[in-house]
């Protein structure tokens, strides 16, 4: 995995290319991020870079979190995330990372928490077909049979049933960067990314 950045989803819109085609895009506010720790195989057993994002007040952090950041003379940060890298020697604690590391036309992977849709039924969650809507039918959106009888005498694990939908970490891969705004630290990406506006995202080069 290469070094990525943290950011927030601003929202979706559409832009026009040179040919006049409409491109659906998502606007991302990325960084600036601060390197808070450099991990090496010698000290920690693996190579990784810890990145911090989002200034916050010291009151919102625990004492261990504050001590970890104060040891490197870094201001309180709301989010910390590790990225595995092959050569951590190229990075220093306190180094600022922003959208300069991305270029127009580059492909990225975006990871975030999807929109939670609560306890959902079979049609919405698993695309089941419904029963007949005619008079006398008592099976419109019911689950129906969920298993065999005496043998095996139980419901097998993994059965598709109603339950929690969304609110899970999900990744969208190989999204194309349409525009990069270095002054505002903004990426314009073709397509959709997980979550609602304001959602925390992890952006990694593909």
What is the model's pTM? 0.84
Whether residues 126 and 159 fall in one domain: yes
Confidence check: pLDDT of 143 > 60: yes
Please tell me whether residues 10 and 78 are part of one structural domain: yes
What is the rounded CA–CA span in Å between residue 50 and residue 97?
12
Record the tokens describing residue 54, joined without a space. Answer: 């989002």
| Distance between CA atoms of residues 206 and 201, nearest Å | 15
Q: Are 189 and 178 in contact (CB under 8 A)?
A: yes
Residues 148 and 69 in one domain: no
Dump pLDDT digits (tens) for 54-88.
889 989 999 999 999 998 889 999 999 999 988 88
On whether both 187 and 200 belong to a single domain, the answer is: yes
List CB contacts of 109: < 8 A, sequence separation 6 or more.
171, 172, 173, 174, 175, 203, 204, 205, 206
Structural domains in the chain (count): 2
Residues 181 and 85 reside in one and the same domain: yes
* Same-domain status, 37 and 66: yes
Tell me the pLDDT tens digit for each residue of 16-63: 988 999 999 999 999 899 999 999 999 889 999 999 998 899 899 999
Average pLDDT value over all residues in the chain:
92
Q: Are residues 92 and 107 in the same domain?
A: yes
Do 62 and 142 lie in a common domain?
no
Contact present, 100 and 182 (Cβ < 8 Å): yes
The residue segments making up the domain with residue 151 are 118-165
Looking at the structure, do residues 98 and 54 belong to the same domain, yes or no? Answer: yes
- Tell me how far apart the alpha carbons of residues 204 and 206 are, in angstroms, rounded to a whole number: 6
Neighbours of 166 (CB within 10 A): 15
Scored b (16 or more CB within 10 A) or e, 181-204 reads: eeeebbbbbeeebbbeeebbbbbb
Q: What pLDDT score does 18 carry?
A: 87
Within this chain, do residues 16 and 112 fall inside the same structural domain, yes or no?
yes
Query: What residues form DSSP beta bridges with 205?
Result: 108
Q: What is the pLDDT of residues 151-179, one digit of tens each?
A: 999 999 999 999 999 999 999 999 999 99
CA distance 70 to 84: 23
Which of 134, 149, 165 lies at the terminal end of a domain, its last residue? 165
Are 113 and 129 members of one domain?
Answer: no
Q: What is the CATH classification number for the domain harbouring 30? A: 2.40.30.10
Contact present, 75 and 159 (Cβ < 8 Å): no
> Does residue 180 share a domain with residue 102?
yes
Helices vs. strands in the chain: H and E counts, helices first = 3, 12
The set of residues, in sequence order, having a beta carbon less than 8 Å from that of 95 and lying 6+ positions away, is: 34, 35
Rounded (10°) CA dihedral 60, 64, 66, 71: -170
Task: Give yes or no for residue 1 having a pLDDT over 70.
Answer: no
Q: Can you give the pLDDT at residue 206?
A: 87
């Amino acid at each position: 995995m290469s070094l990525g950045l943290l950011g927030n989803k601003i929202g979706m819109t559409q832009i026009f290319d040179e040919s006049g085609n409409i491109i659906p895009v998502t606007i991302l506010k990325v960084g600036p991020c601060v390197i808070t720790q450099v991990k090496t195989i010698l000290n920690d057993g693996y190579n990784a870079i810890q990145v911090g994002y989002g200034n916050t007040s010291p009151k919102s952090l625990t004492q261990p979190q504050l001590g970890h950041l104060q040891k490197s003379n870094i201001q309180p940060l709301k989010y910390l995330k590790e990225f595995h890298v092959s050569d951590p020697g190229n990075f220093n604690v306190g180094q600022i990372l922003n959208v300069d590391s991305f270029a127009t036309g580059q492909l990225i992977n975006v990871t975030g928490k999807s929109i939670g849709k609560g306890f959902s039924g079979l049609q919405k969650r698993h695309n089941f077909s419904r029963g007949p809507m005619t008079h006398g039918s008592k099976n419109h959106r019911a689950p129906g049979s969920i298993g065999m009888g005496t043998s095996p005498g139980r419901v097998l694990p993994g059965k598709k049933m109603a339950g929690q939908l969304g609110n899970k970490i999900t990744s969208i891969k190989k999204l194309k960067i349409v525009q990069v705004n270095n002054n505002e630290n903004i990426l314009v990406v073709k397509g959709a990314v997980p979550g609602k506006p304001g959602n925390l995202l992890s952006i990694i080069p593909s």
